[in-house]
Amino acid sequence: MGNVKTDFKTVIFSDFDGTITEEETFSLLMKEFAPEASARMVPRLLSGEISLREGVPAVLETIPSALFPAMEERMRRARLREGFEPFLDTLSRRGIPLVVLSGSLELLVMATLAPYRDRILRVVSADVDLSGEFLRVTSPHADRDELVYKPGVLEEYGKAKKIVIGDSVTDFSMARAGDLVFARSILARKLDEESRKYVKFETFFDISNFLESFL
Ligand SMILES: [Mg+2]
């Protein structure tokens, strides 16, 4: 951690699961590696009875640390949404840094993004301690009901123009804090309901094309 450079003109903040990846890798992993805890907790999470901040660690901490390498291996094979690498090229050319925000675990996100690490400014996610028999989750960016409170990270970048990319309810609060929003799936529907402006996307080519034309 330590001090992070935050004085940029423009910063892109992107969600990871269902945004950079095609699938919801984190919930698939929880179902595969913690089937009983997931079956018990997911309905309570969806009904809002418990928060992500409580529920996600409760599921993860039933997983033996010895299984973590297998989880990372799954993540190394996760499919990325089309156009991600050319999108990184666009950002490099334009000097726009990318911050990836995820309510998953940093080591899992990094297992997928390792080939692109030098082109990503920062990954903000929860941490895992593997020294005990079971996973232990900590999150320096937990706030409110969220394991990773995304708008809090956007605030660190002060006056920078903030471009947000996301797909889900957990991206809604950061979308409200963004100057320009790219949305798909549930996030797009939620922004429609609130009559908020956004640009619809399905692939990263859509986003690159928009940035090349309008930025
Ligand atoms: Mg997502």
Q: What is the pLDDT of residues 123-139, one digit of tens each?
A: 999 999 999 999 999 99
How far is the centre of ligand 1, averaged over its atoms, from the C-alpha of 195 (Å)? Answer: 21
Report pLDDT for 215.
81
Specify if 73 maps to a domain. no
How far is the centre of ligand 1, averaged over its atoms, from the C-alpha of 113 (Å)? Answer: 15
The order of strands in the sheet holding 10-15 is 136-138, 122-129, 98-105, 10-15, 161-166, 180-183, 199-200
pTM of the model: 0.95
Specify if 155 maps to a domain. yes
Neighbours of ion ligand 1 (CB under 5 A): 15, 17-19, 167-168
How far is the centre of ligand 1, averaged over its atoms, from the C-alpha of 5 (Å)? Answer: 25
Specify if 42 maps to a domain. no
**Average of per-residue pLDDT across 81-102:** 97
How far apart CA 200 and CA 203 sit, in angstroms, is: 10
**CATH number of 166's domain:** 3.40.50.1000
Average confidence score pLDDT of the chain: 96
How far is the centre of ligand 1, averaged over its atoms, from the C-alpha of 159 (Å)? Answer: 25
Report pLDDT for 46.
86
**Average of per-residue pLDDT across 192-206:** 97
- Is the pLDDT confidence value at 2 over 70? no
Number of domains in the chain: 1
Interval 146-192: pLDDT, tens = 999 999 999 999 999 999 999 999 999 999 999 999 999 999 999 99
How far is the centre of ligand 1, averaged over its atoms, from the C-alpha of 116 (Å)? Answer: 19
Specify if 168 maps to a domain. yes
Specify if 69 maps to a domain. no
How far is the centre of ligand 1, averaged over its atoms, from the C-alpha of 112 (Å)? Answer: 15
Specify if 163 maps to a domain. yes
